[in-house]
Structure 1
């Protein structure tokens, strides 16, 4: 399996981006709990053009992040891991297992309570952190495992986007929604007419985002829709999709996601942390990410292979799949993103963010050491 240059670029940018995300999170936590904490929180709530700075980050900049995710998904579907149905089914089943079991575990503790709306929180995987930790293991990691985790995380994020669209849309303004979708149809028509210039698509994307923002559906959905409207062609380095994806890699990894981390991890750590961790939503998030993710990914993948629906790559073992499933428990970006949509109570939001950070850290460490151990044994046995 020979990864394309674009996949290598994607993987390398996520590796460095993951380390920067960690640094930004630590800085944000330190500032939020220092004498500058009040001013820091006030900054993110400053209004600009009718929206707070935090709102612009979460609805505006993150739409660009989802545009990159959409472009990567499109490439996987046309030329990558997902282009062959038999190969695609492995990460698809893995992603489904990693969505359903964590949500089920969360609802086990929260069904029928005011916090049941948080079921989507442990369903998500943070691509930057997961690939960043995998990359720290260097050349020991088989390419097929890198591609498997990338495809899994991309499908995971796509499902999270669908969950946001279906379950976290509270009110709909149909006129604005139809205008936004109408612009999308125009962009698709431009694609069919073989218009390759990127500028009209970006202008249409901004207009689509504006009307989606005022429709009640979360505006970041626009990023994924725009990705599939942009011409893919034969996917070579001259294609419109390739050019945009290449342009976006570094700004997303080194600017947009770090700003998101700074804006959304300004968590004030106060009170009894054991009481916070004992809340039903905290237990649901922690068990969903740390236990539900790896078990769900492993169980459904194992079942699919056992029934002959797909096959495990020759250079991977079931220990590898379980270990990489632990990395799937790194929720961070998407989990925090869904938290902001799921809850209105600031205390619950703050506590949930803290639990997400602790759970993601635990899942990341467990995944790193599990992979280091299993890959080391496999290398020694060769």
Structure 2
């Protein structure tokens, strides 16, 4: 798979005349998106492998699969003992870190990314809204009057790792603008899914625990204002908040998003000092013959300059970026594959296939993802361009938007997560999983084919 090649930053001014703040901001923003795209898309392929393994494992050895994930695992802290199934620990504890990174991504996008400018954010936000409303409506058409109506939130979600993984296979055929659009839309969609979980999949609220959780949030606020940057401090406070939110009746994973909103997003390192230090150190790397060659490892002065620049670059990076970059590989390569392994198993022999395929839950989820997503995303994006007078990004065509709409129908991770919250009836959960798999596969195949066809009408990027 090819790494993302970002286009050169074009500017009307020579780099030397760009303000230090603007230059550093451009470097940091571009680097963050490149790191995010490459890590998440690579992790998407591992996620696909884990989901396939779960399906095979659950059908070769259903008893072994269920026994492994439902065996109890205890966590002891002093006199306190927490005992839950292994699947529960994955879904409620490890996935909190996933939601934490989602929260960091949302905050970054709202500050410096595709959601920072209201006009630029209009299209991905409109796409996310359409991509949630139409799938939910399609699900209601099949299940609105039955006891399975609570699953309406399942087809509303988009799996950003899966969708970016499919998009990355198209390499340079796809304009940079479509990558930005899909990423911003998927992050806005994640925000919508988080709100749906918090508002509609909470059975009861215990106000006393919610009040304590609010007090913990006040502590997080002061940590932010004091610019506390230690991850361990936020982890300790986050554990207390996780416990309180879980006992308040909200889903504990929401803790991750809340804590992420309080992580400092600005650096206290003076930009002018940074630029002056880097320039001074670069000036020190000089050679008598005008050709330095490979001198870094053999020239002590050059090596010291490189180390000083490296240290300055680390200092100028914000706590939000450090945590996001540090956690992304763990989430992409460990947490999400474990989640897929624990939740993607569908035991086919326990289902009557003809009944399962035609069950309203399966149809509502599958068609909501496969049809509702591309219709909603394309329609609302088109409406936004007409009503708000906003244009598509350069190089992006409407056929590409439709292709991204199909990729938006890859629900998987968040859909499986909402599916587990929607039903207490095991058979409905199995039907939902089947619908998610069918809808996501259909969206992946159609999205790839549509984007590949659309890319033939655009000159490949060099």
Global fold match (TM > 0.5): yes
Report matched runs for 1:239-318 at 5 Å.
239-270=318-349, 271-318=351-398
Q: Secondary structure at the match of 1:4?
A: helix
- Residue 46 of structure 1 pairs with residue 126 of structure 2: no
- Paired residues, what number? 381
Aligned-partner Cα distance in 2 for 1:166–1:352: 21
Aligned-partner Cα distance in 1 for 2:232–2:461: 54
Cα separation, partners in 2 of 1:195 and 1:381, compared to 1, 3 Å: closer
Residue 72 of structure 1 aligns with which residue? 105
Aligned-partner Cα distance in 2 for 1:308–1:349: 40
Unaligned runs of 5+ in 2: 1-6, 10-28, 74-81, 269-312
Output one character per residue of 1:334-358: Cα deviation in whole Å (capped at 9) or x when no partner.
1110000000111110121022111
Report matched runs for 1:188-207 at 5 Å.
188-207=221-240
**Further displaced range: 177-186 or 53-62:** 177-186
Residue 167 of structure 1 aligns with which residue? 200
Unaligned runs of 5+ in 1: none
Aligned-partner Cα distance in 1 for 2:180–2:342: 30
Higher Cα radius of gyration = 2
Output one character per residue of 1:232-269: Cα deviation in whole Å (capped at 9) or x when no partner.
11598521111100101100000000000000012101
- Residue 347 of structure 1 pairs with residue 380 of structure 2: no
Equivalent residue for 1:5, pick from 22, 28, 31: 31
Mapped contact 1:212–1:222 kept (Cα < 8 A): yes
Output one character per residue of 1:200-229: Cα deviation in whole Å (capped at 9) or x when no partner.
112111111111112110011111111111
Aligned-partner Cα distance in 2 for 1:77–1:29: 37
Aligned-partner Cα distance in 2 for 1:379–1:319: 15
- Residue 55 of structure 1 pairs with residue 88 of structure 2: yes
Output one character per residue of 1:7-64: Cα deviation in whole Å (capped at 9) or x when no partner.
1111111111111111111111111111x32122111111123211111111111110
- Residue 321 of structure 1 pairs with residue 321 of structure 2: no
What is the Cα-based RMSD across aligned positions, in Å? 1.7
Q: Secondary structure at the match of 1:214?
A: helix
- Residue 371 of structure 1 pairs with residue 451 of structure 2: yes
TM-score, structure 1 normalization: 0.96
Mapped contact 1:123–1:160 kept (Cα < 8 A): yes
Mapped contact 2:173–2:460 kept (Cα < 8 A): no
- Residue 358 of structure 1 pairs with residue 438 of structure 2: yes
TM-score, structure 2 normalization: 0.80
Aligned-partner Cα distance in 1 for 2:365–2:152: 8
